[in-house]
A and B are shown apart, each in its own frame.
Chain A
Amino acid sequence: MKFGALILLGLVACGKDAVVPPTPPPTPTPYELVVPTGFPAPEIPPDNPLTIEGIALGERLFADPILSVDSTTACVSCHLPAHAFSDPRPLSQGVGGLTSRNSMPLFNLLWSPSFFWDGRTASLEDQALEPVQSLTELGENWDRVVAKLERHPEYPALFARAFSDAPINRQRVVQAIAQFERTLVSADSKYDRWLAGQAEFTPEEERGFLLFHTEAGDCFHCHVAPLFTDNEFHNNGLDLDPPDEGLAALTGKRFDRGKFKTPTLRNIEYTAPYMHDGRFQTLEEVVEHYDSGFHRITLTDPLLLVRPNLDLDPADKRALVAFLKTLSDPQFQAP
């Protein structure tokens, strides 16, 4: 009985002096990414692993005009899911006017080493920092964004779940958006199913495939499978004197004038208009450009300059467009 009293004393002492162990912060649930067959191994920053909660938060932020100065515009306003997260307008309408370039589609970004038409950022996190504070696009400043999110009725809890109670800051915001963007994977086109032996090309699509992947059309040097981009920069002869410096604005090199990043051709059917300035409305116009419409200047890529016009016949041009449409992934378009 005496010992029992001692034990009781011990419990009381504990109750009085010891700190109640805090509830451990919620651990975000890892997200299992499925890498399509033949795609390169993705590189995910070690400090921003994909989690179910982080992705959900990023998706919500992507669609929320809270990131803009006047609560009118969100990322999704210019990156529309129905257009493979691009904009059907040549230039996009931000809070401060029109952007200077066409909004790029957003998918398969896990396999992109650079972002923007001129490749000026090397991570999705850094990319997402820019539009928020661009006076043309969302026109907000990051301190105000963080303050708005902190006093929001739901965001503090969502951030706590996504980042284990870490405070809300700009880094967490762009990390969540980047997580969401990394899950935008598109690799279920007719072309993919054909490659896997699960679909047949029509004779016209087959003809287009052959034109695309031989020197007759010579599309493959820049639009390299499986991503259908080489992730490099080219001047494709759009202008005699490029009004947009493109890559040269970063490098300062005159040879880089008018060079822009090769866009993927996956889902190209959904991402009109085309080129960095959205000058072409249709795929037929794009094919005409490469057939005989580009300017022959010393800045034009040797891959184009090397030959006279392609002079494809009308059936060849139709076949190329037919093949391009096999790169559409209807599942990716589904809401």
Chain B
Amino acid sequence: MKYLLLAACSFLLACGDSDDDQGEVTVHFNHTVAGADLKHEEILYTNAAGNEYGVTRLEYIVSDIALETAGGKRVELAEFHYRNAFVNATRSVSAKVPGGEYATLHFTFGIDGAKNETGVLPSVDHFNNMAWPAPMGGGYHYMRMEGLFRTDDGAGAFLTHTGPAGGEDFSVDVSLPLSLTVSGDEWAIAVVMDLNEWYDAPSLYDFSGHGGIMGNANAQLTLQGNGATVFSLGSIGHPDHVSQGHGEEEVEQDQAAQDHDEHVGG
């Protein structure tokens, strides 16, 4: 009887230990251009092709966000995540993960072709606004990056809209090696997208030669190839020490609307 009790006790303790090891991991998605925090609207940046540009919109979907141990065990953090670079509420995904040593962060930039179909995402504005219309192949944009660039005769515009052109898969598999030991507690990982990397190597991408590219498989292929170096890891560790990209200016139209009481007829 005594042994039975001891065995039961140690079993309970062991379970308790396992729960204690579980930690909460948050992944932040931050944005830089040539290392500087992204700012909204102003023409401040120059890409490899020499286009001087500013960003009016940057929103994208990442999917199948997962941590993997050195031994190959995967833990999914989120299936789909919508990020608007100028809306702070979309910055991060968080999930409870078992304690252990993790060696890689994986995600798909965009949505894997096997599941990128119209209707796979919930019908909410931010996902609906990323729709890739059925006549163009269906599914969802991976990214809508939009802005202005200087041209000889004034302002030009660019729309870097990536997605499943013609029903093909141009998503980017991202694997970032890291060293994270989760042992209870909260942990944060900063992922950084550097915008200039989309336009640099291996293929130079000039805004002047590209208007609407949703039906342009060559442009999609170029951006998919360049996408290999777009993402890197920032800091990793306790949440207080991990950058949340505070340099970004947030656009809060709804809040601005709520705060405003000036009356205009109509």
Contacts and interface: CB of A to CB of B under 8 A. Distances in A.
Interface of A: 38-41, 91-92, 94, 99-104, 111, 113-114, 116-122, 130, 134, 136-137, 209-210, 213-215, 218, 220, 224-227, 230-233, 247, 249-251, 253, 255, 276, 296-298, 301-307
B156 A215 contact: no
B138 to A, nearest CB: 10
A232 to B, nearest CB: 7
Contact of A101 (B157, B215, B260, B265): B265
Contacts of A134: 263, 265
Given A103-B266, A117-B266, A306 B159 contact: yes
Contact of B128 (A213, A214, A224): A224
Contact of B212 (A99, A104, A232, A306): A306
B219 to A, nearest CB: 12
A75 to B, nearest CB: 13
A251 B262 CA distance: 12
B123 interface: yes
A220 B133 contact: yes
Interface stretch (B8-16, B20-28, B188-196, B251-259): B251-259
Contacts of A214: 133, 135-136, 214-215
A305 B148 contact: yes
Secondary structure type dominating chain A contacts: loop
Given A136-B265, A224-B129, A213 B254 contact: no
B157 A302 contact: yes
Nearest to A114: B257
Given A40-B128, A306-B212, A249 B264 contact: yes
Nearest to A131: B265
Contacts of A306: 156-159, 211-212
A102 B266 contact: yes
Contacts of B139: none
A244 B140 CA distance: 34
Contacts of B258: 121-122
B253 A251 contact: yes
A301 B211 CA distance: 14
> Which 10 residue pairs across A and B have the least CB separation, nearest first?
A101-B266, A302-B157, A305-B157, A213-B133, A99-B265, A215-B212, A306-B157, A250-B260, A99-B266, A136-B265
Given A39-B123, A116-B266, A306-B212, A210 B257 contact: no
B166 to A, nearest CB: 11
Contacts of A227: 128
A233 to B, nearest CB: 6
A224 B132 CA distance: 10
22 contacts: A38-B119, A40-B123, A41-B124, A94-B265, A99-B265, A102-B266, A114-B257, A116-B266, A134-B263, A209-B135, A214-B136, A215-B212, A215-B214, A230-B129, A249-B260, A297-B155, A298-B148, A301-B56, A303-B157, A303-B159, A305-B148, A307-B212
Given A225-B131, A298-B148, A100 B125 contact: no
Given A134-B265, A214-B215, 15 more contacts: A38-B119, A40-B124, A40-B125, A91-B266, A99-B265, A101-B266, A104-B266, A118-B264, A213-B135, A225-B131, A226-B123, A250-B253, A250-B259, A250-B262, A305-B157
